[in-house]
Structure 1
Amino acid sequence: MPDTRAPAGNTPPDDFDGWWNAPGDWFEEPNVRRAGWSGMVTCRYGDTLYFIKKQSNHLCRSLRHPFGIPTTSREFANIQRLQALGIIVPAPVFHGSRQTADGHLGLLVTRELEGFRAIADGGDLTAEEKRQLAIAVGSTIGRLHRAGLQHSCLYDKHVMVHWQDGKPEIALIDLEKLRRPYLPWRAARHDLDQLRRHQAVWNADDWDTLLAAHAAALGS
């Protein structure tokens, strides 16, 4: 696990250089891709844990951005999209990019989803809790798909849950690849099939419950 002890000063930065150089250990070691890399550092200021995604020449291209923008910029925009839909996501604290001699740098800082854990860690749930979780997850991703969006990386480690008064609240993370497909109906098929293959929480009956909740949210 990374070292998340509070750095000296205990006050979070408010600019690009401050966050880029914030002390901390790698939570996700840099992933080298083509001419660039991307990784994540954790750092604690006061009582708050921050996730700092740093990139160099880790770009995505589109008709709007033919020369590319950092994928941190796309993820920041996706966070804002889901916030507008009322879906819980990591709260953004700082976002920025800059051109340097070393390349195109991207930076995205988010606050820890306190009290949430991945549904992948939900093996200790009762049968009723698994049923409630299936309904909550199905409803959440149904709202996502109703908006014509596809998560594209919907594994059980990217779906988070917080139990509040015995009821599950759902959050989605790792939104870098979220997109609006050309054929919206494919979004649900892709994400649901991906989650089904990458989860070990629910049995067949639970999965049917999730699909029913998803269909209800999709049609509401």
Structure 2
Amino acid sequence: MIQYQLPVAGKLSDVFIKRQENHITRNRSHCIKGTPTFQREYNNIQQLRQHQIPTLEPIFFAAYQTKAILITKSLTGYQSLEDLSPEHLSLQERHSLIIEIAKLIQQLHSHHFQHNCLYPKHIFIRQQTDQWEAKLIDLEKLRKRLFKKQAMTRDFSTLSRHLADAWSTADRMRFFKAYLGETKLSEKSKRTWRQLTKKMLQKRR
């Protein structure tokens, strides 16, 4: 992925240009030849944007046989969650960030989308005065699930494992409550929390 400046809407803008060749994805519709992986990412970006889920802004896409190019507007002012040092945040900033990310993931799952690769480096954040903005990137593996809980289980497990050193148990609980919109967990939510925690611990072994 390379960053350039290109004219967009009559003015120069920072963009990311991603090129690929001989990297294809097979599915039921294209089980033999497959389609360029960036085609799937572009389609997924468009799906999220249709549902007003914060993500990348595509500027140009083209594909020919196994070649593809995808150009998106640069996320100027954003940084990945992976690159953020929690110790540099006040307690209030930390709490508001966790809540904002929880709202983003809840919005994703409410439409039965599963990111399927929800690492901290795939969540980009930007602090605006006293609030945060968050966007999802790298949507090549995004998929629809029949049940929302399937998406939640997979994405929570992945994100929790990779934030284990940065987020405390209290942080993860705050995230979970914000995701559910509960100030106090119901018995059903407590059972789900225990299931998710058990799954995360099993994966870390």
Question: Does the alignment reach a TM-score above 0.5?
Answer: yes
Q: Does 1:82 align with 2:48?
A: yes
The Cα shift of 1:41 comes to 2.3
**Distance across 2 between alignment mates of 1:127 and 1:120:** 18
Taking the TM superposition and a 5 Å limit, the aligned residue runs for 1:1-220 are 40-45=1-6, 47-66=12-31, 67-99=33-65, 104-123=66-85, 124-181=88-145, 183-199=147-163, 200-216=165-181
**Distance across 1 between alignment mates of 2:121 and 2:157:** 15
User: What is the SS of the residue equivalent to 2:151?
Assistant: helix
Count of residues paired in the alignment: 174
Amino acid at match of 2:3: T
Which blocks of at least 5 consecutive residues in structure 1 are unaligned?
Answer: 1-39
The Cα shift of 1:44 comes to 2.4
Amino acid at match of 2:159: L
User: What is the SS of the residue equivalent to 1:142?
Assistant: helix
Q: How far does the alpha carbon of each residue in 1:145-190 deviate from its partner, in whole angstroms, 9 at most, with x for none?
A: 1111110111111111111121011111111111113554221101
Amino acid at match of 1:136: E
Amino acid at match of 1:70: P
State the TM-score, normalizing by the size of structure 1: 0.74
Q: Percent identity?
A: 34
Structure 1 residue aligned with 2:201: none
User: What is the SS of the residue equivalent to 2:135?
Assistant: strand
Amino acid at match of 2:151: A
**Distance across 1 between alignment mates of 2:110 and 2:26:** 25
**Distance across 2 between alignment mates of 1:106 and 1:214:** 36
Moved over 3 A (4+): 181-184
User: What is the SS of the residue equivalent to 1:134?
Assistant: helix
**Distance across 2 between alignment mates of 1:201 and 1:48:** 33
Contact map agreement 1:122 1:201 (CA 8 A) in 2 = no
User: What is the SS of the residue equivalent to 2:181?
Assistant: helix
**Distance across 1 between alignment mates of 2:121 and 2:112:** 23
Q: How far does the alpha carbon of each residue in 1:53-75 deviate from its partner, in whole angstroms, 9 at most, with x for none?
A: 11112111111222211111110
Give the helix-richer structure, 1 or 2: 2
Q: How far does the alpha carbon of each residue in 1:9-49 deviate from its partner, in whole angstroms, 9 at most, with x for none?
A: xxxxxxxxxxxxxxxxxxxxxxxxxxxxxxx2222236522
**Distance across 2 between alignment mates of 1:105 and 1:202:** 40
User: What is the SS of the residue equivalent to 1:131?
Assistant: helix
Q: CA RMSD in A?
A: 1.7
The Cα shift of 1:91 comes to 0.7
State the TM-score, normalizing by the size of structure 2: 0.79
Amino acid at match of 1:112: S
